[in-house]
Amino acid sequence: MRVAMESLRLSVVLLLCCSCVLAPAAAAVAPKKRTYIVHMEKSQMPAEFAAHRNWYDASLRSVSDVAEILYAYDTVVHGFSARLTPAEARAMEGLPGVLGVLPETRYELHTTRTPEFLGLERSEGLVPQSNTESDIVVGVLDTGVWPERKSYNDAGLGPIPASWKGACEEGKDFKPASACNRKLIGARSFSKGYEASMGPIDESKESKSPRDNDGHGTHTSSTAAGSAVPDANLLGYAAGTARGMATRARVAVYKVCWLGGCFSSDILAAMDKAVEDGCSVLSLSLGGGMSDYYRDSVAIGAFSAMEKGVVVSCSAGNAGPGESTLSNVAPWITTVGAGTLDRDFPAYIVLGNGKNYSGVSLYSGKPLSSSSLPFIYAGNATNATNGNLCMQGTLLPDKVAGKIVLCDRGINARVQKGFVVRDAGGTGMVLANTAANGEELVADAHLLPASAVGEKAGDAIKSYLLTDPSPTATIAFGGTKVGVMPSPVVAAFSSRGPNAITPDILKPDLIAPGVNILASWTGTAGPTGQSADSRRTEFSIISGTSMSCPHVSGLAALLKGAYPDWSPGAIKSALMTTAYANYAAGGGILDVATGSAATPFDFGAGHVDPPKAMDPGLIYDVDVNDYLDFLCALNYTTLQIASVSRRPNYVCDRKKTFAVSDFNYPSFAVAFPTASGAGGGSSATTTVKHTRTLTNVGSPGTYKASVSAPSEVKVTVDPTELSFAAAGEKKSYTVSFSAASQPSGSSTFGRLEWSDGKHVVASPLAFTWT
Ligand SMILES: *[C@@H]1O[C@H](CO)[C@@H](O)[C@H](O)[C@H]1NC(C)=O
Ligand SMILES: *[C@@H]1O[C@H](CO)[C@@H](O)[C@H](O)[C@H]1NC(C)=O
Ligand SMILES: *[C@@H]1O[C@H](CO)[C@@H](O)[C@H](O)[C@H]1NC(C)=O
Ligand SMILES: *[C@@H]1O[C@H](CO)[C@@H](O)[C@H](O)[C@H]1NC(C)=O
């Protein structure tokens, strides 16, 4: 969760809104134009046109004399984007061959220890040492790349795969000869949509090229497939060998995010190119609002990518811990939430009364003296109503000079609060969580001695501050601690289910490390991402589902390398059915937000377990026909199906019955009606049946089903035993879920496992009453 970045972006949004308020007077004459993505049905091009581009031009010309095509799309979608007035867009919708006209959407960007934590070190022998891993190209759609980082060292890598059709584009501060090599094999940037909406890119602030001036894209791409870098650390913290998940896979970056956000016309153009270039995996650590699949550009682009065998892995979002806060929920996308590592950066706050509280920090400057310093609550050192938040200019220097200041978390960036304390003459900071963040601790490379504490410790320290007549404290830094238990725990910020678009598909799919992750960084921003931070570091430690997504993207590349003929659905299934929901020592994975056990709405199938994913035994495979059946089950119209799948006039077979419950997903979400919802009946039992098909990808064997179900739901599996005589063999089964009505909004969970004694093929069960 890049609060720092989010708050920077927030100010951009505010600026935009100011111009919205000012604009109407000038815009009253000419209606305001915006970018629209026009999806066209390629096969409906009239014969008189020589090329699709001419047809698109003519279609555009028929609604506007002046509009220009920003992008023509040809791989994951067909059509183009252009600036149109709302009336022109409506006229466009009525033209022959137009499948849909979608307004531009703005998206936002949502590891030394990770490989060991994930068991990748111990799996070196388990992961087939296929040379095919180096044929896999991971395409990362993000803020670009800082190619000089050692994570992009290509030592030991063979020639660029012959099938690669991509390019390393020259641009500002980006010279292909020095930037690209056998590791970083592709780099492109996409800004036409951004500039059409936001005006020209300010080249004094960011390079109009694949160069990453932010850090986010360098961090995510090196996490997915960076080479191993010995002696990596951030200011001495998290020291060790940093490596991506798929160290021998290739990286191609597609810069689609700029200072003011990421725009769907650019993202779609990048997906179009990335698939055409020959990427096998696409990693998107960004998200926008929730909409139906036929109106969601990333979902539409991902459908075609999936059809071409490309795995699309996306961040679940950082809008947790509230319910139904997910983005990127299409079933053909792998939706990744975030958990913690077993690594921590403790910084102890010792109070004048002798009490000792543990917080976290990546502060690396001169430590505070061990003798106590005067300590004050920011709320007592301000005249401003929100002064407890340490907002710019709110602290009274005569109150805080020479003191440690306790600031409450919220509104402005965590690190910025430290600048405010320092600028007012404070010598240290304690950053206290409020209920909004609970016990979730995100370590920051503060510029003054500072430690972040959870809500409970924060409240205890505040009560000391408010009752002791002359409070004092000191902060002692504990460096890097590994082996923290329990871990992982679900990050509070990680977006949660249920899935608001299709409640019958459980999302997120799984979780991966996303808290305090070390990876490569840009050379044009400090590790905190704040402009006041003039430090430059090769690595940075940041948090978010933006960080967990590329872990899964890299693991998908490993799987694709080991099993080149597996479909994206098979790869997702292997990752999900081998994920764990319990700690090795017992007990379910915890949720930082509540301190109690998390549920499949928080972690999906569980936490990714790479060595096990390499040998899943059985998989739930799906192909494009299954997804079309899924769209039929959603009762999509022909036009809506065409928008998602690029199939004109696709008609759902009337002789078949389609049900989402028959879609071969590796998890189960069952929505039972409540008594009133079922027409006011009593507590009659409802039974819902799901059908699934397993494919054997291991040796012959017999698998037995076992279910752990909540008392409210009776679960029966038929048959309870499946025997596979050969690899590739498929066997189907049905699960019946029966339950009486429960109060609306209640939910409960279980797990279904198939095991041959060697493999466990597990699926989470989520039940809701609505
Ligand atoms: C505070 O607690 C930590 C561990 O809980 C310990 O390492 C440290 O020495 C303690 N500091 C003081 C001054 O008691
Ligand atoms: C600090 O503020 C609280 C109210 O927020 C007040 O009760 C307390 O007396 C103040 N303490 C000092 C030392 O000013
Ligand atoms: C803050 O409030 C106090 C008491 O009302 C007043 O004396 C002081 O001048 C104020 N300081 C600032 C910087 O506004
Ligand atoms: C689709 O329509 C059928 C028949 O009207 C209905 O039973 C089903 O619930 C609908 N499905 C969805 C996902 O709305």
**469 Cα nearest atom in ligand 2:** 13
- Ligand 3 — pocket residues by CB below 6 A? 383, 396
Q: What is the pLDDT of residue 80?
A: 97
Of 57, 142, 277, 408, catalytic: 142
Give me the amino acid identity at 597.
Answer: A
Of 39, 52, 110, 216, catalytic: 216
Q: Are 490 and 319 in contact (CB under 8 A)?
A: no
Q: How far, in whole angstroms, is CA 684 from its chain's centroid?
A: 40
Q: What is the pLDDT of residue 27?
A: 43
Instruction: Tell me the H-state helices in 289-385.
Output: 297-307
Alpha carbon dihedral 576, 577, 579, 585, in 10-degree steps, equals 160
Q: Are 400 and 374 in contact (CB under 8 A)?
A: no
By alpha-carbon position, which residue is closest to atom 14 of ligand 2? 380
Instruction: Tell me the H-state helices in 294-413.
Output: 297-307, 397-400
**376 Cα nearest atom in ligand 2:** 13
Q: Are strands 346-351 and 334-339 parallel, antiparallel or unpaired?
A: unpaired
DSSP category for residue 683: S
Q: Are 171 and 142 in contact (CB under 8 A)?
A: no
Q: What is the pLDDT of residue 1?
A: 30
Give me the amino acid identity at 339.
Answer: G
**383 Cα nearest atom in ligand 3:** 1
The rounded distance, in Å, linking the Cα atoms of 633 and 638 is 12
By alpha-carbon position, which residue is closest to atom 2 of ligand 2? 380
Here the tokens at position 736 are 């019946």
Q: What is the pLDDT of residue 712?
A: 95
Question: For a substitution probing ligand 1, which of 344, 345, 348 has the most ligand atoms within 8 Å of its CB?
Answer: 348
Torsion sign over Cα 599, 602, 605, 606: negative
By alpha-carbon position, which residue is closest to atom 5 of ligand 1? 358
By alpha-carbon position, which residue is closest to atom 6 of ligand 2? 466
Here the tokens at position 688 are 């819902």
Give distance in angstroms: CA of 407 to centre of ligand 2.
Answer: 14
The pTM of this model reads: 0.92
Give distance in angstroms: CA of 4 to centre of ligand 2.
Answer: 30
Position of tokens 């790869």? 571
* Residues whose CB falls within 8 Å of the CB of residue 156, separated by 6 or more in sequence, listed in order: 248
Q: Which residues on neighbouring strands pair with residue 100, listed in sequence order? A: 39
- Ligand 2 — pocket residues by CB below 6 A? 379-380, 466
Q: What is the pLDDT of residue 40?
A: 94
Q: Supply angle C-alpha 697, 701, 706, rounded to 5.
A: 95
Q: Is 398 one of the annotated active-site residues of the chain?
A: no
The rounded distance, in Å, linking the Cα atoms of 447 and 363 is 7
The rounded distance, in Å, linking the Cα atoms of 416 and 420 is 6
Q: What is the pLDDT of residue 365?
A: 93
The rounded distance, in Å, linking the Cα atoms of 139 and 224 is 10
Q: Supply angle C-alpha 414, 420, 425, rounded to 5.
A: 135
Q: Are 698 and 742 in contact (CB under 8 A)?
A: no
Give me the amino acid identity at 151.
Answer: S
Here the tokens at position 715 are 């679960």
Give me the amino acid identity at 200.
Answer: P
CB atoms under 10 Å from CB of 596, counted, come to 9
Cβ of 164 below 6 Å from ligand 1: no
CB atoms under 10 Å from CB of 342, counted, come to 16
DSSP category for residue 47: T
Here the tokens at position 361 are 């920090």
By alpha-carbon position, which residue is closest to atom 12 of ligand 2? 380
For 68, phi then psi, to 5°, come to: -115, 150
DSSP category for residue 408: E
The rounded distance, in Å, linking the Cα atoms of 508 and 498 is 8
Give distance in angstroms: CA of 423 to centre of ligand 3.
Answer: 18
Q: Are 396 and 381 in contact (CB under 8 A)?
A: yes
Give distance in angstroms: CA of 380 to centre of ligand 2.
Answer: 6
* Residues whose CB falls within 8 Å of the CB of residue 14, separated by 6 or more in sequence, listed in order: none
- Angle between the 638-645 and 297-307 helix axes, to the nearest 10 degrees? 70
Give distance in angstroms: CA of 434 to centre of ligand 2.
Answer: 18
The rounded distance, in Å, linking the Cα atoms of 496 and 717 is 28
Cβ of 470 below 6 Å from ligand 1: no
Give distance in angstroms: CA of 673 to centre of ligand 4.
Answer: 14
Please tell me the number of the ligand nearest to residue 376's CA: 2
Estimate the share of the chain in helix, then strand, then coil, as percent rounded to the nearest 5: 25, 30, 45
Give distance in angstroms: CA of 679 to centre of ligand 4.
Answer: 17
CB atoms under 10 Å from CB of 421, counted, come to 29
Q: Is 546 one of the annotated active-site residues of the chain?
A: yes
Q: What is the pLDDT of residue 77?
A: 92
Q: Are 540 and 215 in contact (CB under 8 A)?
A: yes
**370 Cα nearest atom in ligand 1:** 13
106, 549, 140, 498: which is closest to 288 by C-alpha?
A: 106
By alpha-carbon position, which residue is closest to atom 6 of ligand 1? 348
Q: Is 292 one of the annotated active-site residues of the chain?
A: no
**377 Cα nearest atom in ligand 2:** 1
Q: Which residues of the chain are modeled with pLDDT < 50?
A: 1-27, 111-112, 123-126, 677-678, 680
Q: Are 320 and 514 in contact (CB under 8 A)?
A: no
Here the tokens at position 177 are 């000869």
DSSP category for residue 48: T
By alpha-carbon position, which residue is closest to atom 9 of ligand 3? 383
Please tell me the number of the ligand nearest to residue 657's CA: 4
Of 546, 548, 741, 763, catalytic: 546
By alpha-carbon position, which residue is closest to atom 14 of ligand 4? 634
Give distance in angstroms: CA of 358 to centre of ligand 1.
Answer: 8
Q: Which residues on neighbouring strands pair with residue 748, listed in sequence order? A: 767
